[in-house]
Structure 1
Amino acid sequence: MSSRTVGLLAMTTALVCWTGFALSIRGIGTSSLTPADVAVLRFAVPLLVLSPWIPRTWRRLRTERPLVVLALCAGAAPHFVASAIGGHLTSAALVGSVIPGVVPLFVAGLASLIWRVRTSPVQLLGLLVIVAGVVVSVLTVGSGAQAAGVAALAVAGLAWSVYTLALRATGLDPVGAALTVCTACLIGALLAIGIGITPSHLFPATATVSDVVLYGLVQGVGVGVLASLGYTIAVRRLGAEPAATLSAISPVLVTLAAIPMFGERPTAATLASVGLFIAGVLVFNLAGLRAARRAARFRPRAPLPEMPGATDTAAAPRRPPSP
């Protein structure tokens, strides 16, 4: 099997898992599970699958900065909660487009504040298109509850942006970061259920077995394990630019799949907002990848000899990874 075929299969796996995330978040309200139950499945299953790497992660975690670990966990947990709220109040199409759509917007803003990372004019154009998508989403929803749902999805995107930047700063590998986040979020979900903050149908065993299996596979195995591995393999086999371009297919798949699953008929305004998010993300990511490729082309392969009288300067921080 060729490298390109492996990359396309891996990217297809990631797209299916991302689509499953948006659809399953939208479907929590019609299942026998509560959001807290889904959170338990989302974080417990990857923890079990990746458990052989726990000792190695623990050794590395002891040398990690506490603030970075806090940012990792503080980004992942609110992302899930806000996604669940937004999915309950809006549509699957908006879940699949708003969250990944606003991530570049927040990542660029936070990176500018923290690391003084500059955004190119073309990327700024992409961010303006994303803002236009947010405006269209808010102005065209049918009720105040739906507007609140769009706001919740934007908060989910902000939380994922914090997680993205924490990944940029951590010394943990992807498996270590996933184990750290899953452990902290699972403990938080179990505590919330245990002290009665949120209801649960999982531990009284009133949830149906089919829902437990479905959400364990989609959220735990699919989103928690396969999506991350699939996208990583796709980037390595296809290249970052093609992978980033193909990732924009996900909102389209979610919109189409929601029609038979939930009976959602996207309005012209919804399709317009989804189109704006896709266009903005593509412009932002592709411009960033081309800039990075140009920078790598002109980067010297060997260190240049130090000029007489030169002083050491701090290296500028690299751009954080785009979602």
Structure 2
Amino acid sequence: MDSRPVVPLDPRANRVGWACAAVVLCIWTSFILVARSSASGTLSPFDLAFLRFLVSGLVLVALARWRAPRTHTALPTARWAALGVIAGVAYCGLAYSAFFFAPAAHGAVLLPGSLPLWTALGAWWLLRERPTRQRVAGLALIAGGDLLVGGASLLHALDGGTVWIGDLLLLGASALWGLYTVLCRRWRVSAFEATLAIGSFCLVSAVPLYALAAAAGWVDSRLGAAPWSEILFQGVFQGLLSMVVAGIAFTQVVVTFGAVRSTMITALVPPIAALAAVPLLGEALAPTTWFGLAAVTGGLLLGLRGATARTSVPRPVLEAR
């Protein structure tokens, strides 16, 4: 673990961190609703990932060329590929596929809601960060909420239900994003560098491979049948807002507040997304979902209260590179 000295967080960095947190809350909440509503559209989950990678990759590479002389430094190839695979190809493949099986409320609980649990485990493993007792209690509530939501869907698996498949995919996606969060902290990767690594890796690997597979008929792509309005909307939202804007904002929150506390800041995402899905998507909330949502939200808030009031970050992270 890096032993370089740390300095107290200055007020300006604190304001920037909270502003980025607000952006993340808005986009992450919208992501759950949009991803779930996409299941009734024309595009497949992998079409959505393709548009996300194409748009975000082109935007990020263009930004990197503009920033390169002043602030951008290249990541080692192994780290570049690791971030691209974990938070790009693997995460998107699981997350988009999950919403074709699981409702938005399950996504709200299991995707951002369980993120602090996976991040805490990763931080304990890779960063040797031991959680406080209050945070452990919050994580226990989160785990209990996950079991309530996921366990209920497993009970219907023998009846032919498929929601449990989406729940498992959501948990896998959340675990991957938690690992990405910890790696950004461990490797001292700036917000732009981390997001650029994901976008550029997916642009040069996943995009051409999927385009070739779609052209050859090896995958069931529906890009040719989708209306341009759907393609344009998904490209802008998934590629520009969800990937570029939210990606940079979230990673900035990580370098400002720390890996575990950053995921606790997203405590408002599960209740807002789950409740908004009722009128917007016509989804009903089962009793187990209500209890699971309450447990996860309570765990997030408890963990946030237990976070260290004074945050310290490595000076090289705050400085422009």
TM-score, L = length of structure 1? 0.76
Cα distance in 1 between the residues matched to 2:56 and 2:233: 15
- Which residue identity lines up with residue 220 of structure 2 in the other structure? P
User: What residue in structure 2 maps to residue 258 of structure 1?
Assistant: 277
User: What residue in structure 1 maps to residue 206 of structure 2?
Assistant: 188
Indicate the larger mover: 65-74 or 75-84.
65-74
1:229, distance to aligned residue in structure 2 (A):
5.2
8 Å contact from structure 1 (residues 241, 289) kept in 2: no
Identity of aligned residues (%): 25
8 Å contact from structure 1 (residues 244, 286) kept in 2: no
Indicate the larger mover: 158-167 or 139-148.
139-148
Cα distance in 2 between the residues matched to 1:256 and 1:273: 13
2:219 equivalent among 195, 198, 207: 198
Task: Summarize deviations over 1:85-124 as a string: whole Å, max 9, x none.
Answer: 2211111111122111222212222222233321221111
- Which residue identity lines up with residue 60 of structure 1 in the other structure? T
1:70, distance to aligned residue in structure 2 (A):
3.1
Cα distance in 1 between the residues matched to 2:253 and 2:173: 25
Cα distance in 1 between the residues matched to 2:233 and 2:84: 25
Q: Which runs of 5+ in 1 are unaligned?
A: 300-314, 316-323
1:137, distance to aligned residue in structure 2 (A):
0.9
User: What residue in structure 2 maps to residue 86 of structure 1?
Assistant: 98
Number of corresponding residues: 289
1:156, distance to aligned residue in structure 2 (A):
0.5
Give 1 or 2 for the bigger CA radius of gyration. 1
User: What residue in structure 1 maps to residue 174 of structure 2?
Assistant: 157
Cα distance in 2 between the residues matched to 1:286 and 1:12: 18
2:147 equivalent among 135, 160, 164: 135
1:245, distance to aligned residue in structure 2 (A):
6.8
Q: Mark the CA change 1:67 to 1:108 in structure 2 (over 3 Å): closer, same or farther.
A: farther
Task: Summarize deviations over 1:177-207 as a string: whole Å, max 9, x none.
Answer: 21221122233144134235532222xx321
* 1:114 aligns to 2:114 (yes or no): no
Q: Which runs of 5+ in 2 are unaligned?
A: 1-11, 315-321
1:152, distance to aligned residue in structure 2 (A):
1.1
Cα distance in 2 between the residues matched to 1:38 and 1:223: 12
User: What residue in structure 1 maps to residue 191 of structure 2?
Assistant: 174
TM-score, L = length of structure 2? 0.77
8 Å contact from structure 1 (residues 42, 216) kept in 2: yes
Cα distance in 1 between the residues matched to 2:279 and 2:23: 21
* 1:273 aligns to 2:292 (yes or no): yes
2:240 aligned counterpart, secondary structure: helix
* 1:213 aligns to 2:232 (yes or no): yes
User: What residue in structure 2 maps to residue 23 of structure 1?
Assistant: 33
